[in-house]
Chain A
């Protein structure tokens, strides 16, 4: 039996036995080794609906398109399944994207998908630029204006009718120009006109919440336009690209679908020997391990640079290595060419314990689920072992060639982030501060003394244009201390902030070790006498420091000042939010009924109040909300 047949059999068995993690890992292996239409079809018929995939998140996608995309959809579904996500894709009518975006009662708005993709290409939307058939330079300039105006109208129409993210194709540069190399000498030639449209699209997206541009031209050029385009399929089926490259486009779409939803992967757990450096530190010693002089030519340094870039993107790093800790730490601290240093890692397990055990501990230490971990190890035996025994962990399918490690790390789709908030940029430093807090806690006698010595300060501010992205991100990512787990897009948060009947506040916490940034969010539906708490969440970064008490105390004061007499809270249990379950009861809220699994809680302001913990100073915002 061939490897592919074996893999298929294993996937069928894992699917039937409900082995979710193994199923995902095997699906990734099959799809990445054999990205064919048949493999995509096999995964699409085997996994969705199986008991293994029943716990996987799903994303409803609407494809608006100017060309035939149907044969690419199975590949898109396979990309999702290989990452443990079920994409439920609806394809809009052929070349009907304008009507579908403009008509408020179209299938698009009726479907209300989690995310919409507008798949366009130059030969459809700007045929004169693609074919070079314009008779004058001014006609090219006119095409730029026409296309930009058309797409602005469509994007604005979508944003006024839907709060969902929209992903928009940029345009591909013409392969041939009517004037040959002369074309490129003019700003208003075919090539530069398309570039100008792309530049304006980036501006358009940047100025609209939750609209993103897929750089279609760069995707084409990465694979080569000669291989990308298929004139035979274009002529007969309006399918512009060759069969072999359909997975490449599907993969790029999938990146955006992952990045516009809740973050699925948050932590990269790195092995050391033969992964971050060449050789074995315990045998070769600090002088003997391989770390070349030049970052351009040393594959290990390139891998380290790729990992450091993820760190700067807000991905949390950890180490899981079989070594004597002293040997390994010496290399991390002292080797002059290391780019990664101990302070970059939020958790470290350097020992001889089984890796799945270490991985579980790392997840607990960082306060994330095991399924948020991504495991990087050069050793295929370790990778297989982790897949078998810690199936929730995502395992990077590293190639044998060490030269490709860095690219493999960079290409991992679940570490893509579309908007970086200040908190993302600072996340690594925050984990270093957290280690200082943990040490303080260990050295303090009582938990109250620990709280007092932290010197916590909390500030609550109305959500503003500069904090909407972070507010939305918190609703997308916070699973543990989250009363209702309602996920909101930036546009929805903006609507709350602007609406008369709602208030939305961000909560920022700092202490003597540093600023935790915005770590809490409160959204209330504000009636004249009653405020209903729609969203009350807190990042795991500050769980266990009584910040929730300070938030509720602040909210009570604010409600009182507004003449409100009662607060209504809601708790919707999920698999992950047990840490928040007792909060309302613990602060004097009274149970007021159930709706399904959700419970309702009431706090009468006339009957009592909630005091902020003495160890948290509540700072007034600089500008009061109106």
Chain B
């Protein structure tokens, strides 16, 4: 699988920083639900919806539960955008 380009990762970080209420500088592609305290099950849904909205994609509910890091989200968005 192709890794998402840096600008897409940056975009996801920007959205995640807003939704999770943290500074964008505190997030990297490796940041995940385990490493970020504000990333709980409620904010995960908010994050998925915000990413859909910001990237014009539609993430299937089954896939949502698996996208637990910035990198995974960016990769999934890249795939959805290229479909």
A interface with B by C-beta (< 8 Å): 36-42, 44-45, 68, 70-71, 74, 232-233, 235-237, 239, 243-244
Contact = CB atoms under 8 A, between A and B. Distances in A.
Contacts of A236: 61, 64
Nearest to A8: B18
B42 A70 contact: yes
Contact of B46 (A39, A71, A244): A71
Interface residues of B, number: 18
Contacts of B18: 37-42, 45
A38 B50 contact: yes
A41 B20 contact: yes
Contacts of A41: 18-21, 46, 50
B3 interface: no
Q: Is the interface of B mostly helix, strand, loop or mixed?
A: helix
A74 B46 contact: yes
A36 B50 contact: yes
A38 B14 contact: yes
B61 A232 contact: yes
Contact of B19 (A37, A235, A239, A243): A37
Nearest to A91: B42
A233 B21 CA distance: 23
Interface centre among A40, A41, A42, A243 (most CB of B within 10 A): A41
Nearest to A70: B42
Nearest to B50: A37
**Max chain B C-beta neighbours (<10 A), residue from A38, A233, A239:** A38
A243 B45 contact: no
Contacts of A45: 18, 21-22
Nearest to A239: B45
Nearest to B20: A41
A63 to B, nearest CB: 13
Contacts of A71: 45-46, 49
Nearest to B61: A236
Contacts of B42: 70
Given A41-B19, A70-B45, A243 B52 contact: yes
B15 interface: yes
8 contacts: A37-B19, A37-B53, A38-B18, A38-B19, A41-B20, A70-B42, A74-B19, A233-B49
Contacts of B50: 36-38, 41
